[in-house]
Amino acid sequence: MKDVNSQKYQEFHMKFRNIESCDSLIMEDPKIIQQSIIDYIIYLREELKLASTTINARVAAIRKYYDCNDIELRWKKIKSYVGRSRSKRNNGRRDRPYTSMEIQKMLEKADERERVVILLMVSTGMRVGAIPLLKIRNLEKIEKYQLYKITVYENEDEEYITFCTPECARAIDSYLEYRGRHGERLLKEDAPLIREDFDIYDEIRATRPQLLDCQTFKQMIRRIGIRSGVMEKRALVEYHKGPNRPVKMTHGFRKFFQTTSIGNGMSPLYAEILMGHQSGGLAIESYVRPSENDLLEGNDKMIGYVGVIDSLTINEENKLRRKVETLAEKQDEIQKMKDKHEYEIKLMREEMENKFQQILTKIDTGKLT
């Protein structure tokens, strides 16, 4: 997916330069190339008002191309023109996470596949760019809590594990069962977790799941947001996407996970790790390496993922089911404690009875002698 973005950003650069062939980019004098890149950065910053992180991503794609062609440029000087993001781009207001009500509205307008996508981002804090890479084999069911452990960015340097809520796990199971009923009978481990939409009457296509790109998922979220009334329909302008929304279209789900989990007692360190941050800006991360079990169940000092499941659950019916399951678990524990107590009392009584009989025996023996 990174290569796809790099190609897209390079095309943007070529369009700005009014160049049709990539070969033309490397035929110029390095000084001219360097100045043209600086001009492009200034255009992105001043005309399109793009954030520095976005500009850096586009510059990285350009740099990769020139590095591959052994053209040396003064990148430190070039990047000095990027500058910093402007804090007043959104009238001084920081973007906020989606609310539970907004997410609920979107889920009501989503189909089975779309529900999985939304709940994945809500309950894991996963980046939208990670979803196209997920395979069925990346999911491991943890029956004790009826949820999935998910391996994100498998076999890459950024690989990490996270968890989803039982609500999300049920949505995944339902979606995979749907695919199984309608042609994809043998779900292969290397099949994409989220496949393209397909005609259930086309048996050949149904058996051949295809990967989706990141842009498809973004468009999916946008359509759901508009259908549900959570987002306003806006005309998209090339390069520039118009005024900032109070909630970032896909990042709003990630922010919901972060604020909700930390707000309900999870350690910020645990939240950052579960979101896949390699370094969440927390110095303690260099010294503390929580185990998978710590991240899931927590310990005496920190709340794990299980402790915030209820807060990350969107549907009220699912929340009620969770409460019933929790109560049932507590009743089972109480019953086990009661049974254990009664068993211990029984053993004590038997022991006391044995000792009493031994005393009586000794008394009777003494009388006989």
pLDDT digits (tens, 9 = 90+) for 208-247: 899 999 999 999 999 999 999 999 876 544 444 455 678 8
Whether 149 is covered by a domain: the verdict is yes
Q: Are residues 330 and 181 in the same domain?
A: no
Whether 89 is covered by a domain: the verdict is no
pLDDT, average across residues 157-171: 95
> In terms of residue numbers, what domain contains 369?
318-369
Q: Are residues 106 and 253 in the same domain?
A: yes
Q: Are residues 255 and 329 in the same domain?
A: no
pLDDT digits (tens, 9 = 90+) for 277-306: 865 445 445 556 789 999 999 998 899 999
pLDDT, average across residues 164-171: 96
Q: Count of domains in the chain?
A: 3
Percent of residues, the chain, with pLDDT higher than 90: 41
Amino acid at site 91? N
> Under 8 Å CB-to-CB from 234, ≥6 apart: which residues?
242
Q: Are residues 55 and 191 in the same domain?
A: no
pLDDT digits (tens, 9 = 90+) for 89-113: 444 457 789 999 999 999 999 999 9
Q: Are residues 329 and 278 in the same domain?
A: no
Whether 85 is covered by a domain: the verdict is no
Give the residue from 264, 44, 300, 272 showing the smallest Cα distance to 160: 272
Give the residue from 334, 107, 315, 312 showing the smallest Cα distance to 221: 107
pLDDT, average across residues 26-52: 82
Mean pLDDT is highest, among 59-73, 211-225, 309-323, for: 211-225
pLDDT, average across residues 120-141: 96
Both structure tokens of 251: 């990042």
Is 90 exceeded by the pLDDT of residue 12? no
Helices (H), the chain: 2-17, 30-42, 52-68, 75-79, 100-108, 112-124, 166-181, 203-206, 214-228, 251-263, 268-274, 292-297, 309-312, 316-368
Confidence of residue 166 (pLDDT cuts 50, 70, 90): very high
Q: Are residues 124 and 52 in the same domain?
A: no
Both structure tokens of 312: 């990350």
Cα–Cα distance for residue pair 22/115, rounded to 1 Å = 41
Cα–Cα distance for residue pair 68/280, rounded to 1 Å = 31
pLDDT, average across residues 311-337: 74
Residues 13-45 as b or e (16 or more Cβ within 10 Å = b): bbeebeeeeeeebeeeeeeebbebbbebbeebb
Predicted local confidence at residue 243, as pLDDT: 56
Predicted local confidence at residue 4, as pLDDT: 54
Whether 73 is covered by a domain: the verdict is yes
Q: Are residues 186 and 250 in the same domain?
A: yes
DSSP secondary structure code for residue 152 in this structure: E
Single pTM value for the model:
0.64
Whether 93 is covered by a domain: the verdict is no
Q: Are residues 119 and 26 in the same domain?
A: no
Q: Are residues 169 and 214 in the same domain?
A: yes
Candidate from 117-121, 217-221, 244-248, 325-329 with smallest mean pLDDT: 325-329
- What CATH number should be reported for the domain holding residue 159? 1.10.443.10
Predicted local confidence at residue 198, as pLDDT: 86
| Helical packing angle, 214-228 and 112-124, nearest 10° | 100
> Under 8 Å CB-to-CB from 322, ≥6 apart: which residues?
166, 309, 310, 313
Q: Are residues 286 and 146 in the same domain?
A: yes
Whether 313 is covered by a domain: the verdict is no
Is 90 exceeded by the pLDDT of residue 127? yes
Predicted local confidence at residue 325, as pLDDT: 67
Whether 302 is covered by a domain: the verdict is no
Both structure tokens of 145: 């809590």
